[in-house]
Structure 1
Amino acid sequence: MVPTVEVVVVSRNTEAESVISLELGSATGEPLPSWTPGAHLDVWLPNGLIRQYSLCGDCGDTGDTGDTGSGTWRVAVLAEPRSRGGSAWLHDNATEGTRLKVVGPRNHFELLPARGYVFIAGGIGITPLLPMVAKAQRDGAGWRLWYGGRSRRSMAFLEELERYGERVRVWPQDEHGLLDLPAILGELESGTLVYCCGPASLLDAVQEHCRELPPKTLHVERFTASERRDGGEDDRPFEVECAASGLTVTVPAGVSILDSLARAGVEVPSSCTEGVCATCETVVLDGEPDHRDSVLSEEEREEGEVMMICVSRAKGGRLVLDV
């Protein structure tokens, strides 16, 4: 069960042009749950929106042992020009003392053990990679971070990254152009894993360059959905049995499980509705999901224990979900 936590903003800092960081502490005095690099929080905003933000502090004193820590969490928020109200609300209203409800931490971008790492960040995609870099450094692994952005003034945490010296390559586009992916990914040593987070254009380019690498070499986290299969013969009606509420709901072609359940009065928290954020992650008790999300790993898809009901469907005629 993913915990729900009441937090309070302990401090707010400007990290770059249009980027703020918020340090969050427990609002109840109870220890905050531990976390591991790659984890994020679902932040429930007073305006009714739910938004996801990567934890970008150092979890070295709490998350690596599995123990519950009592410190603070840090997230960073980019003021999106086309924001639907999430980042704008936090930029306008989140100040010291602001109380928020969060769900998490969740982690679908876990840092796996490896001999070495290549980290590639684009813009605000630096946030989940910061604790990964800290852990790789602490563990004595070989690693490099390539950090691209529009300009230095738009790139957060540059001063914080200076302590790593030449292991970090800062690559502002207005100075150097786009990241040189052929050079970065051209000759990886055996056992090296690649972690990338940033805009879709960067992730798509990195995936193309990693196409010939061994399976499970590349790990990405997306802010927007990757191209997925929709419609056609596979988008047929099916039934969903709601084990917790006792209802059976028909999901028509062209309508999501999430929307079908809502029409029947079964509300499941959701945010992106694009299969990216994992807010609507639901336990599958029976049946085979047709996964169409951009979150789960191939191993998680094969296990079939959870699914993102905002985009995924059923391979057969029936699913039993824990809702």
Structure 2
Amino acid sequence: MTSEHTHIPVLLSEAVDALAVKQGEWYIDATFGRGGHTQRILELGGKVIGIDHDEEAIETGKKMFAEEIAKGNLVLVRENFDKLGELADLKDKAVYGVLFDFGINSVQLDTPERGFSFQHDTALDMRMDSRLGVTAKDLVNALGKKELYDLLTTYAQEYRARIIVDAILQSRAKQPIETTQELANLVEKAVGGREEGGRGRLHPATKTFMALRMVVNDELGNIERALPPALDLLQQGGRMVTISFQEGEDRLVKHTMRQWEADGKGEQLTKRPVTPLGEELQRNPRSRSAKLRVFAKGMKTKSSLVVGGTL
């Protein structure tokens, strides 16, 4: 990390308000990142177990929050959040809130050597956790035609998947696809220029890059494995807050919370997701697809919670 890299937490006030932080109680920031949500929880008197599988995030956090760590108010753990149920650091702590901020953070996206963005010409990596073995380059050059098609349609709803897959197969038959711009350029050449949409003019490789990143990091699988133990860790009345940026993520969270409610495990406090307001969208355009949901364990109220944003 260099000093110019910053990450703006999305729906910061809404997320922390939804946790209903109590002084002296423990909260899990399952996607620590650069500690924006953690800092706000600490300011409100809560204690935090911050989890991130990105080594750089944890090492930076140890420097930024050295004082809070020394006081015993913050514990940082390098691990994937799908291991929540196995972490020894949580065994003796009563947890009153869990926060998930899914997807990629701005620092990862803006760091060229991580290989997440076609804004820089660098190796196709896309691993959030450097301990993972498979990179985006491996997938692009090894998956078969059907596997590539399924990847693009399942994880990115890419309607031009067949054209893109054919272009990838033709290109790698001549030589391996090595870099982010090689992939971005071949996709753009195959399908044409930028497309109009509700989010403005999207680069034609945007969905391809998103799908590869999600598969490299098993993002949906991690969420599916993490939600049940996160609920188990919560005390009665404790709250789970999730922030999703992709349709598949939000759908998985929505269906899981709906099932929990049907099983009598608690209540969804956001019947519809909270989304960013205009001011935040202007300040941080990357927040545009964010959806926040809240679930309270073992709690029944008369109405849904409105914590800000739009419903």
More helix by share: 2
Same fold (TM over 0.5): no
What TM-score bracket applies, with the shorter chain setting the length? 0.3 to 0.5
Quick check: which one's strand share is greater? 1
Higher RCO, 1 vs 2 (CA within 8 Å, ≥6 residues apart): 2
- TM-score, normalization: structure 2? 0.36
Please give the TM-score of this superposition, normalised by the length of structure 1.
0.35
